[in-house]
Structure 1
Amino acid sequence: MLSKRRRTLPLIILLIALQMISWTSIMSLPQGAPESVCDTMLPFHGGGIPPASSLPPYRIETSSLVIRQGQAMRVDIIGVPPGLSFGGFMVQARNRNSPHQIIGQFNSSLDGRVKLMNCENSVGNSATHANPTPKQSASLEWQSPLDFLGEVVFNATVAQAYDSFWVGIPSSPVQVVRRDTNSNYPQTTRLPYVPPPPRGSYAPKTETPSMVEISDDPFYFECGRSKTCFGWPDGCIGDKSCKLLSAIIVRGDVYEFEMKSGSIGAAYIALGLSNDNKMGDDLVTECIPQNGKVNLYTSYTSGGPNYAAKRTNVNKNSPPMNIEFGVKTYTYAQNNARLTQSSFIDGVIYCKVQRDMLTEVQGKQFDLSNNKYHILLASGTSLKEDSVGYHDIGRLPSDKPINLAVVQNLSGSSTLLLRLHGAFMLIAWIGTTSLGILLARYFKQTWVGKQLCGKDKWFAWHRVCMVVTWSLTMTAFIIIFVEIGGWSTERNPHAILGTITTAICFIQPIGALFRPAPTSKSRPIFNWTHWLGGNLAHILSIVTIFFAVQLTKAELPEWMDWILVGFVVVHVIVHLIYSIFGFSSDRQYSQQLNVFQMSDLGHHNMSNGHRMDSKTDAPYASFRKGLLAVYTVVLTLFVVVLVLIVVLAPIEETINTLKSN
């Protein structure tokens, strides 16, 4: 009898243990989530049971998409489909631009099913269940803070059972606006029930797209009212289309700088304070995403000719700014700069940096309170070992130095000289040079006996074209050096090729002034040299213009290349047609074409000696004149279109602005 009891005792203990396990599988923590999980929102169930990776069968809904500062709103946790129960939950409202920052405060519900939590020493900024009884929904009241503007996303952990829970279920973004804002807001995020996809097809994400889109970026709120905003391209603040964006807010002795990139693929975004609108001797604040987080650096730029941005007081062996441990952010100050908020979501960089009134770098003191500074905004796709790379995404200096504490509307510096440089070069090398070369090569035996200002008509027009080319090229060359203030630092052969072209252009008319007499033995040498110099400069100029399309400061569309290709094709076809008819004309004078004799600016058989002695126009003169008229019209259209693209750059933004108006 005793032995039978001994055999049954282990069985009873085993059954009791199994029963206890079955109880725990349907229980949630009876007192709600502990404050030790404020950062992770991850329940410590069963010694480390992982959260479910399937699509959450629950949804977080808000009573409004936009609320004012200090206003309260309703937040609901519901099942999908409605009626699906759950036991435990935890909810927080977090800053969308800085996901580690918990925003606002919850109020206790009347039914006692909600317990408030004090995360990060802030009263009631999180909420959890007060009891583990099954519930089909949970309603909470959340109040926005008085000192916050921007977007918040409600994140929730919902436990269906002890071993079945979902972490980080997001709501649609909710916009917090100023208390005095008066607008009609969308009043709910509640959507019709949509059956979830099959289990296992859901990949968890840190943030899901908004179910209801809000068109206005909160960064633009208060621009020109409580903060000075500055963005690129110039004028983008008004239509909220900036690819680079910055804002300055002054609170007493603290100067706060916000930056945001709108370009996916940006390696950094930087804001400089400068005494002029040129790079050099500037205080620069850099925000750089590294290893999934945004780091802060302070740099000092050196002037020309070796432009560079050197980071100051940075110890390579020290930890980087804004280090994360788990999901907790620790902020380090570097050279009187403090990174207070940051995010790197979907390739977009955001950071908020505070600076003291006085900052000294490289022996130069920047007094933000008493001095005025130009704002330099820049972004690029590359980094160097101890600095940022070239600002190939965009760069814009402000048009004037400003008192940072005075809220104002700020525009970019004028690009007039830059646009004039491009327009003058296009008129000179696409327009007058192309026409002048054509006249010199194919029209020596046209308009025979007719003169203009005492010169053969073809030569008079050729000289007019070349004088215009020389004048515009020299003017444009001087203009761009005045605009840049030195040699271009952009990694593009445009500057080198342009300088070579300008040098050849400068020499050409000087050589023409000293050309030998037509009967001189050295005249053929001059003819070939002049012909070679003119054609080489023309070819180099076209290649240089192609490279100009890739320049960041030019802001030219890539499709401008196809217009340039169209010009080249038309120009080559016209030359081929003139050449074919020229050879046909020569056959009428001689059957032997073995000798190609070059005379005054001789570029073609039509300029040989016996032809020059002729008293009448060479054959096909009417055809040559007609084709010249057509070519001149087409060439003018090309020049006008290209000049408009340069002058109105960035042309896409200009077109969109005109359409919107």
Structure 2
Amino acid sequence: MRYRMHVILLSLCLIKVAWPLPQGAPTTACQSMVPFHGGIQPQAGISPYTVAPRREGNKVVVTLTSGLGVPFQGFLLQGRTPDGAILGEFDSSTINEGHPLDCAEPADSITHNSPNDKSSINVVWTPPREYEGPVIFNATIAQAYDTFWVGIESNLVPITKRGANDPTFNFPTEPSSRTPPNFVPYQPKQSSTEFDPFYDGCAVNKLCFGAPADCVSSKSCKAVVGVIVTGDRYDFELKADSNAAWVGVGLSDDDKMGDDSVIECVKRGNGVAAYMSYTTAPNYGAPRLANPQLGIQLLNSSLVDGTIYCKVRRDVSTNVNGRFYDLVSGKYNLLIAAGSSVKPNSVSFHDIVYLASAEPQALADVSALAAKSKLLIRLHGCFMLAAWLGTASIGILLARYYRQTWVGHQMFGKDMWFAWHRTFMVLTWALTIVAFVLIFVELKAWSGENKPHAILGTVTTILCFIQPIGAYFRPHPGTPKRAIFNWLHWGIGNAAHIVAIVTLFFAVKLTKAELPEFVDWILVAYVVIHVISHLVLSVMNCVAERSGENRITSFPMKDLGGSGRTSAYTDRNPDAPFSTFRKFILAIYIVIVLIIVIALIVITALAPIEEAWSNLKSSVTNRN
């Protein structure tokens, strides 16, 4: 009998410990806002609940709710100054689900009356009569005894002294951030994500992969996925920055997009929805399944300052569009992507970021996952820059303005200008063809981006390809068809160069290029230098043409309609007037173009250059 009484008493004690504080939070939780729930730690993920203040005159109406409709059982709510001091007074008579708690002053906090499920709480808060300045409302909200979030913040609320004629302000419903456990007073927000809780556990107890490459280590991903495996439960956490309307992760058999199973998290109103979709090739679409919730369950999500977060549990085994996915025994490449817009039944193009992992890996393996190499993309960009900003520009300038320069000097049996022109244009042809082949080897399909870069690049390559063929079969000087060749050669060459420059401008906007916006201004600088050089040299030719005895025998535009430049080859006159000045202009032009080309090649090779520069500074700082 005595033994049974001990068992009963022990059971009652355990029940009391496990019961989620029916009378609300005690005063011992006032400062830290951390409830004592048998040693259970607060949730590390982003809270599904919001603290939304709405100012009405000298008072503030504070609403605790969930944009996803998730009920909660307990709460503790306080108003604090930016340095963490508790202030103000709650009017508990406005609700029947809470009562005041005296922490620093009477009724300066409010907590729940019972552990019954609540969909939302509205309460009126009054500031001290003489207080003027910002207030932040902080809440601890318990979804259940073992699931609670600590220090959920509202936006800043400006408070003026009582009695002022204040207007009514409406504040966003999303909280500005979530404070970590053991409440820390408000501090100005920084752009750095160094303390982002999403990255806690990466490479320790969860597999993390984000874009751009190597962003997980610096905690600066534009889009990131974390895979947490607990027994037979596979949970996918997804997050994207405030510019994104959606973020998704694909499971792929290779490092290419197409025929992949995708979990996508999409902004929907003030919340986030999760869907299953399937990528198609070669148009890179991602239509949702007929049953878009097939095999997935949304566990948690939030939309804080526009940042998407969701946690989705996926079934271990799923059959998607006839393909079987086994998360236990299968190895997959991860594809992470984010975009700025959505369609009614699918996401739009991943215009913010896209990255594939280099090798397939078991999802339970938490070791670092390397990104797919972008070497071919980088080489494509570098070769095109070298060809059309460098060799083509110099070769065109030589052919147009330097036919009567270095007269009497030859290289490989040809006039100096022609030998160098041919050398530079052969390099242009070779670099362009190689770059064109490289990008198709990389993509193995037509570009999926809805931008004219791919079309214009193809036009440039075709014009470049046929130009030397026409030059090889050019008629001899003095023949009737020479004028036709002159016009065609001039027109095709200049058209290819102009289209190529326009194509480079469109390349700056490509997601895969990862180029900073200021590259546009470097390209503009090149165009200005190129145009000014042509104008100066054209004026010099016009002046030289009128100089009398030493007339230029090969003024370019004038001679295009002629049968040939016979005099240029038979009359070996001295260099045309202003030859030294033309050489000086050419030297300056080559130096400036070389600087521009080298700068753009470095930016392209190290793209995204912002992350490369940030990593370099961090490395130097750590060494010091």
- Using the size of structure 2 for normalisation, the TM-score is 0.74
Q: Closer, same or farther in 2 for the Cα pair 1:525/1:545, shift >3 Å?
A: same
What letter matches 1:63 in structure 2?
A: S
Q: Closer, same or farther in 2 for the Cα pair 1:418/1:519, shift >3 Å?
A: same
Match of 1:121 in 2: none
Q: Closer, same or farther in 2 for the Cα pair 1:418/1:104, shift >3 Å?
A: farther
Match of 1:275 in 2: 253
Q: Closer, same or farther in 2 for the Cα pair 1:515/1:569, shift >3 Å?
A: same
Q: Closer, same or farther in 2 for the Cα pair 1:360/1:628, shift >3 Å?
A: same
Distance across 1 between alignment mates of 2:477 and 2:124: 99
Q: Which of these two proteins has the greater Rg computed from alpha carbons?
A: 1
Q: Closer, same or farther in 2 for the Cα pair 1:64/1:629, shift >3 Å?
A: farther
SS in 2 for 1:100: coil
The CA deviation at 1:242 is 1.2
**Does residue 212 in structure 1 map to residue 186 in structure 2?**
yes
The CA deviation at 1:137 is 4.5
The CA deviation at 1:631 is 0.9
SS in 2 for 1:568: helix
Match of 2:576 in 1: 618
Q: Closer, same or farther in 2 for the Cα pair 1:313/1:537, shift >3 Å?
A: same
Q: Gaps (5+ residues) in structure 2?
A: 1-18, 43-60, 77-95, 113-119, 127-134, 142-150, 178-184, 620-624
Match of 2:274 in 1: 296
Match of 1:63 in 2: 32
Q: Closer, same or farther in 2 for the Cα pair 1:360/1:586, shift >3 Å?
A: same
Q: Deviations over 1:53-109 (max 9, x none)?
A: xxxxxxx96327999993689xxxxxxxxxxxxxxx9999x99x9893649999xxx
C-alpha RMSD over aligned residues? 4.1
Distance across 1 between alignment mates of 2:489 and 2:125: 87
What letter matches 2:232 in structure 1?
A: D
Residues 424-573 of structure 1 mapped to structure 2, 5 A cutoff: 424-573=383-532
Match of 2:286 among 280, 284, 309: 309
Check whether the contact 2:477–2:565 (CA below 8 A) recurs between aligned residues.
no
**Does residue 627 in structure 1 map to residue 585 in structure 2?**
yes
Match of 2:366 among 407, 424, 440: 407
Match of 1:639 in 2: 597
The CA deviation at 1:519 is 2.5
Match of 1:221 in 2: 200
The CA deviation at 1:604 is 11
Q: Closer, same or farther in 2 for the Cα pair 1:68/1:461, shift >3 Å?
A: farther
Check whether the contact 1:597–1:608 (CA below 8 A) recurs between aligned residues.
no
Match of 1:203 in 2: 170
Distance across 2 between alignment mates of 1:280 and 1:450: 58
Q: Deviations over 1:373-422 (max 9, x none)?
A: 11011111222232111111111111211100111112321111111100
Match of 1:579 in 2: 538
What letter matches 1:645 in structure 2?
A: I
Check whether the contact 2:176–2:304 (CA below 8 A) recurs between aligned residues.
no
**Does residue 136 in structure 1 map to residue 106 in structure 2?**
yes
Distance across 1 between alignment mates of 2:599 and 2:422: 25
Distance across 1 between alignment mates of 2:36 and 2:469: 73
Distance across 1 between alignment mates of 2:260 and 2:70: 32
What letter matches 1:203 in structure 2?
A: N
**Does residue 243 in structure 1 map to residue 250 in structure 2?**
no
Match of 1:347 in 2: 306
What letter matches 2:546 in structure 1?
A: R
What letter matches 1:100 in structure 2?
A: V
Q: Closer, same or farther in 2 for the Cα pair 1:578/1:609, shift >3 Å?
A: farther
Distance across 2 between alignment mates of 1:520 and 1:553: 49
Q: Deviations over 1:401-456 (max 9, x none)?
A: 11001111123211111111000000000000000001111111111111111111
Distance across 2 between alignment mates of 1:69 and 1:471: 71
Check whether the contact 2:101–2:111 (CA below 8 A) recurs between aligned residues.
no
Check whether the contact 2:453–2:506 (CA below 8 A) recurs between aligned residues.
yes
Distance across 2 between alignment mates of 1:398 and 1:236: 13
Check whether the contact 1:246–1:259 (CA below 8 A) recurs between aligned residues.
yes
Distance across 2 between alignment mates of 1:588 and 1:91: 86
Q: Deviations over 1:459-480 (max 9, x none)?
A: 1111110111011101100010
Distance across 1 between alignment mates of 2:101 and 2:466: 91
Aligned residues, how many? 514
SS in 2 for 1:487: coil
Q: Closer, same or farther in 2 for the Cα pair 1:424/1:90, shift >3 Å?
A: closer
Q: Closer, same or farther in 2 for the Cα pair 1:260/1:72, shift >3 Å?
A: closer
The CA deviation at 1:365 is 0.7
Q: Closer, same or farther in 2 for the Cα pair 1:498/1:98, shift >3 Å?
A: same
What letter matches 1:423 in structure 2?
A: C
What letter matches 1:310 in structure 2?
A: P
Check whether the contact 1:90–1:127 (CA below 8 A) recurs between aligned residues.
no
Check whether the contact 2:174–2:305 (CA below 8 A) recurs between aligned residues.
no
Residues 101-250 of structure 1 mapped to structure 2, 5 A cutoff: 102=72, 128-129=98-99, 136-137=106-107, 170-171=137-138, 198=164, 201-203=168-170, 205-209=172-176, 212-213=186-187, 216-250=195-229
SS in 1 for 2:403: coil
Distance across 1 between alignment mates of 2:73 and 2:215: 30
Q: Closer, same or farther in 2 for the Cα pair 1:583/1:245, shift >3 Å?
A: same
Distance across 1 between alignment mates of 2:107 and 2:323: 61
The CA deviation at 1:457 is 0.9
Distance across 1 between alignment mates of 2:385 and 2:248: 33
Q: Deviations over 1:142-200 (max 9, x none)?
A: 9xxxxxxxxxxxx9765689xxxxxx9831789xxxxxxxxxxx9xx9x9x98656465
Match of 1:255 in 2: 234
Q: Closer, same or farther in 2 for the Cα pair 1:240/1:68, shift >3 Å?
A: farther
Q: Closer, same or farther in 2 for the Cα pair 1:657/1:405, shift >3 Å?
A: same
Q: Closer, same or farther in 2 for the Cα pair 1:201/1:394, shift >3 Å?
A: same
What letter matches 2:287 in structure 1?
A: K
Distance across 2 between alignment mates of 1:550 and 1:160: 49
Check whether the contact 1:358–1:366 (CA below 8 A) recurs between aligned residues.
yes
Check whether the contact 1:258–1:351 (CA below 8 A) recurs between aligned residues.
yes
- Using the size of structure 1 for normalisation, the TM-score is 0.70
SS in 1 for 2:346: coil
Match of 1:287 among 265, 281, 298: 265
SS in 2 for 1:437: helix
Distance across 2 between alignment mates of 1:260 and 1:169: 25
Q: Closer, same or farther in 2 for the Cα pair 1:172/1:538, shift >3 Å?
A: farther
What letter matches 2:70 in structure 1?
A: H
Match of 1:23 in 2: none
Q: Closer, same or farther in 2 for the Cα pair 1:544/1:633, shift >3 Å?
A: same
The CA deviation at 1:226 is 0.7
Q: Closer, same or farther in 2 for the Cα pair 1:596/1:234, shift >3 Å?
A: closer
The CA deviation at 1:616 is 1.5
Check whether the contact 1:270–1:285 (CA below 8 A) recurs between aligned residues.
yes
